[in-house]
Structures are given as C-alpha cells and as structure tokens.
Structure 1
Amino acid sequence: MKYIIGLYVVMAMMVCVTLISGYLLNGEYWAIASWLITGLFFFGTLFYINARYILSKKKGES
C-alpha cells in the first residue's frame, strides 16, 4: 500500500509543478519545470519497479 501512496504523491507533485510553472510563474521557468517533471517521472518509475518486485516476491512465497 505504501508504494501506491508513493506513486500518488509523485503524481500530485508533477501536477503541482506544472500548475506552479504555468500559472504562478507565467511559464518563465518552463525548462526547469520540465526537468523537475522528468525527474519525478523517473522517481515514480522506481516506485513502480520496487512495488512489482516486492509484490512478485510475496506472491512466490505463498
């Protein structure tokens, strides 16, 4: 369950970065925001890979 919460937090952070970049900063720092979103995507991918590994390991034990 903690992996799903982690993925949700990463996804919410991606949306927040997009909204802050677009509305509060008027798109002036779009390149930095793009790099942040890319980093968050890779971080979320690590959550996904870890969850698949843990869940497949638990399924094999039972």
Structure 2
Amino acid sequence: MKYIKWMYVVMAAMVLVNLASEYILNGKYSAIASWLVTALFFFGTLFFINAKHSLSKK
C-alpha cells in the first residue's frame, strides 16, 4: 500500500512542476521542468512495478 501512496505523491509532484513552470516561472525554465517530469515519470514507473509485485504476492 505504501507504493501506491508514493505513486500518488509522484503524480501530484508532476502536476505541480508543470503548473509552477507555466504560471509561476512563465515558461522560462520549461526545458528543466520537462526533464523533472521525465524523471518523476521514471520514479512513478518504479513505484508502479513495486506495487504490482508486492500486491501480486498477497
């Protein structure tokens, strides 16, 4: 269950990075924000794999 919570945290962080990039920073650092979203997507995928593995054991 803890992996599912972390997946939600990663998803919320992706949304916050996009919103901060566009509205607070006016798109000046959109390339850096894109890299951050890509890294967060990678970590979210890892949490998904761990959640799938731990839930299939039960």
SS at match of 2:28: coil
Structure 2 unaligned residues grouped into runs of 5+: none
Q: Residue by residue, what CA displacement relative to the aligned partner does 1:15-53 show, whole Å, maximum 9, x if unpaired?
A: 000000000100000000000000000000000000111
Structure 1 unaligned residues grouped into runs of 5+: none
Q: TM-score, normalised by structure 2?
A: 0.94
What is the aligned partner in structure 2 of residue 40 from structure 1? 40
Say which one has the larger Rg. Answer: 1
> Which of structure 1's runs of 4+ aligned residues deviate more than 4 A?
none
- Percent identity, aligned pairs only, is 71
**What is the RMSD of the two structures over their aligned residues, measured on CA atoms?**
0.7
Letter aligned with residue 14 of structure 2: M
Question: Quick one: higher RCO (CA 8 Å, sep 6+), 1 or 2?
Answer: 2
Cα distance in 2, alignment partners of residues 9 and 34 from structure 1: 18
